[in-house]
Structure 1
Amino acid sequence: MSSPVEADIVLVGGGGAASLVLAELGREHLPGVRVAVVDPVLKRGQDRTWAFWGSPGSALDPLLSASWDDVDVVTPAGRRVLSLRPLRYAMLRSAPLYELAAKTDAVRITAAAGTVLDDGERVVVSDPDGTPLVRAAWALDSRPRPPRRAGRTNWLQHFRGWWLEADRPVFDPDRAVLMDFRTPQPARGVSFGYVLPVSDRFALVEYTEFSPARLTSPEYDRALRAYADLLRLNVSELRVREVEDGVIPMTDGPFESRPSPRVVRLGTAGGATRPSTGFTFSAMSRQAVQVARAVAAGRPPVPDPPYPGRHLWMDAVQLRALDRGLVDGVAFFDRLFERNPASLVLRFLDGTTSVGEDLRLMSSTPLLPMTRAAAGDAIARLRSR
């Protein structure tokens, strides 16, 4: 039996969160820092797409497939064109990020991780049979896991997308559709489509729901075909080059970001998923930057909480209002964009707004229903204690 790999940091899980950390550590040029990655699959190729907003000029810019300064929000009442400046909406596909992460000097162990044991001085990562794989000073664990306790409201962001290719120009590469609410709305939840064009002949067309349960595979396909019809796309004349599926938790249940002194959780497992929307990438990227800067400064690789506590409370209230039918989901999101600058709404969803800006956003929501949701949330919190 071989001895476990010795490292300063072990990344448990090698997906998006770990790849972002590896990329940021590589930018810091830390040759003396030993890094190991434990994952049963060597991540490569296009297995997912991340769409996010932020300021131009970031370190990720060379990896982007496309970006847009303006996006559309569409409802049955009409189309609203939103200027995101000084932000922009961007698309990052997984392959260039995986390739960048692969260029680092990390030791990769292609095996499933079982236990992650912290003795207070070192962390030992073992396989499911108990064989030690890595001993490290710190473990950054991004494996999916449920919250520490069940939330009072538990929804999902779930979706299917088709990468469509045409032989002639059918897409506008300068315009992305952020949310198109003309899709049939579920009895309990919110649905929308969106379009992210890479060129005039290649785009990701996706159907998404915020609701308590996933659909069947045929139901996703029917919803996508119906949305393509809304866009006046003839799917029979297009090629479906790739299919992307996903499901992301939307819950007010708390995630355990620090299960022990030397184990830190990243990504959704570390609370990076925004409860009210399921958006994750921006917070995950911030975690990676903070980890790398801490390591470069000789500090523990522990990122800040992904979102302020008041934002998590606001998310819990919004989820409750949607779940109990106190607000109409389409009208709620449309009203937010109607009464606030798009950049303010997006910065709130990223968790970077000030208290004053949060109050402005709260005042633009339906007052009575949200007050009822806040009161119900307070009562539920008291009862759970």
Structure 2
Amino acid sequence: MGSAPVDVDLALVGGGGAASLVLAALARHGVRDLRIAVVDPVHRRGQDRTWAFWDHPGNDLDDLLSASWSQVEVVTPGAHRVLNLAPLRYAMLRSGPIYDRAAEAERRLGVTRIVAGAESLHDDGDRVLVGIGGDGPALRAGWVLDSRPRPPRRPGRTNWLQHFRGWWLAADRPVFDPARAVLMDFRTPQPPRGVSFGYLLPVSSRYALVEYTEFSPDLLTSAAYDAALAGYRDLLGLDPARLSVREVENGVIPMTDGPFVARPSPRVVRLGTAGGATRPSTGFTFAAMHRQAEQVARALAAGRPPVPAPAYPGRHRWMDAVALRALDRDLVGGPEFFGRLFDCNPAPRVLRFLDGATTMTEDLAVMRSARLLPMVTATVADAAGRLRDRLVSSRRPTWTVPPPVVGPDSPATDRPGR
């Protein structure tokens, strides 16, 4: 390696949304006297993605939001629902303010930034040696928080993608209702295998994000995304002659019941999608990333290891696996499935369920929303698949000390509006 490794207490490998939230939380919770490094080949700034999420008003994100709504619409063919979210809100946050807050936190915390990729992590149980690409020095850390995207430990029994394109539309006159967002609109043509919907997030009466999304196994061509978006724009009754596309957002997020390993070795902790923050049934990620950052910061402020709790309860991950199987095997239709979910439950319960915050009693109410026979069929098939996975896993060798983790340090892609 040449020069001696740089020693820090905490290394953030990957500097995107998850790491930015951690830095901001560390500064907010008054963490001091901690040597911190950020390792990422890209120093992120500006608007490279958009997140939307629900939460209670009155927290550290309030002054960063682009917009928020207390009412949303869920539309299926023949049914138009206007849902009141109180005491929750649905909120939009663009990346620029998050990156700016993280940059200020870096200055306050005296963070060392290494603009290079992490080529390897070797955890000996006491320290983690981070191999830096190029001519960068090796880094030795007490703990590593790794937010780089990576696949699950093994393929899931169901492996879909949430893939999407969004247009930021500017209108020459007021055409949008800034008091109400469209959360899901299933009037879009449904793919042969999967689910599609559009949605509309208005920032003002003249500016909004309009997006087309699919839950399905395969991506579309660029022309197909544009055609689907144009079709949804027309479905909303928007006149293209009075609109201009200011920005375009794209992304792909895994929807899988494959297991993401949140702690691959004693002193390496994964955050974001790689750490299980993405909800398999919907692709929502931001709220869980924010929780992970808060838990990490509180732990370090109290002198505890920076290990967040699982992003979602185990029973919710099981429910997601069953729902994905039911959708994948065409046992239920997507518009019907999500429509019944909102028809049979108060909107705040559905949103709290998707955040992993419901009680078992509430979970049973959510489960009763779906038709019984298809979900029983999916549950039995899921149980059989889990048994097969367990038998295969029992034949694999186990590691006493995990091997080094090697992977590209590319920026994570999160879902605009999710």
**TM-score bracket, shorter-length normalisation:** over 0.9
Alignment correspondent of 1:122: 127
Give me the whole-angstrom Cα distance separating, in 1, the residues matched to 2:6 and 2:237. 56
Q: Distance in 1 between matches of 2:388 and 2:307?
A: 33
Q: Distance in 2 between matches of 1:130 and 1:253?
A: 36
1:70 aligns with 2:75: no
Alignment of 1:187-202 (within 5 A): 187-202=192-207
- The answer for the alignment partner of 2:16 in structure 1 is 15
- TM-score (structure 1 length as normaliser): 0.98
Superposed, 1:260-275 pairs within 5 Å as 260-275=265-280
Q: How far apart are the structure 2 equivalents of 1:131 and 1:166?
A: 48
* Alignment match, 1:225: 230
Q: Which secondary structure does the structure 1 equivalent of 2:75 belong to?
A: strand
Amino acid at match of 2:212: Y
Q: Do structure 1's residue 204 and structure 2's residue 205 form an aligned pair? A: no
Of 345, 362, 367 in structure 1, the residue corresponding to residue 367 of structure 2 is 362
Structure 1 distance, partners of 2:240, 2:146, is 41
Superposition deviation, residue 236 in structure 1: 3.3
Task: Report the alpha carbon displacement of residue 130 of structure 1 after superposing the two structures with TM.
Answer: 8.9
Contact 1:115–1:130 (CA under 8 A) maintained in structure 2: no
What is the percentage of aligned positions where both structures have the same residue? Answer: 70
Amino acid at match of 1:27: R
Q: What secondary structure is seen at the aligned counterpart in 1 of 2:380?
A: helix
* Cα offset, 1:76, TM superposition: 1.6
CA-based RMSD = 1.1
Q: Does 1:30 align with 2:31?
A: yes
Q: Which amino acid counterpart does residue 33 of structure 2 have in structure 1?
A: G
Residues 159 and 209 of structure 1 are in contact (CA less than 8 Å); yes or no, is this contact kept in structure 2?
A: yes
Output one character per residue of 1:35-58: Cα deviation in whole Å (capped at 9) or x when no partner.
Answer: 110000001000000000011111
CA drift at 1:127: 2.0
**Counterpart-to-counterpart distance in 2, 1:199 and 1:130:** 48
Which stretch has the larger CA shift, 310-319 or 2-11?
Answer: 2-11
Q: Where do 1:207-286 residues align within 5 Å?
A: 207-286=212-291
Q: Matched residues in 2 for 1:30 and 1:310: separation?
A: 34
Stretches of structure 2 lacking an aligned partner (at least 5 in a row) = 392-418
State the alpha-carbon separation in 2 of the partners of residues 130 and 29 from structure 1: 34
Please give the per-residue CA displacement for 1:43-99, whole angstroms capped at 9, x wherever unaligned. 100000000001111111111110000000111203100000111000000000000
Superposed displacement of residue 28, structure 1:
1.1
- Tell me if 1:311 matches 2:312: no
CA deviations 1:135-177 (Å, max 9, x no partner) are: 1100000000000011000001111000011121111110100
Q: Distance in 1 between matches of 2:212 and 2:100?
A: 28
* Counterpart amino acid of residue 50 in structure 2: T
Report the Cα distance in structure 2 between the residues aligned to 1:55 and 1:36, rounded to whole angstroms. 32
* Residues in 2 aligned to 1:128 and 1:383: alpha-carbon distance in whole angstroms: 40
- The unaligned stretches of length 5 or more in structure 1 are none
* 1:6 partner amino acid: D
Shift of 1:133: 3.3
Q: CA deviation at 1:237?
A: 2.5
Letter in 2 for 1:86: P
CA contact (8 A) 1:267 1:284 kept: yes
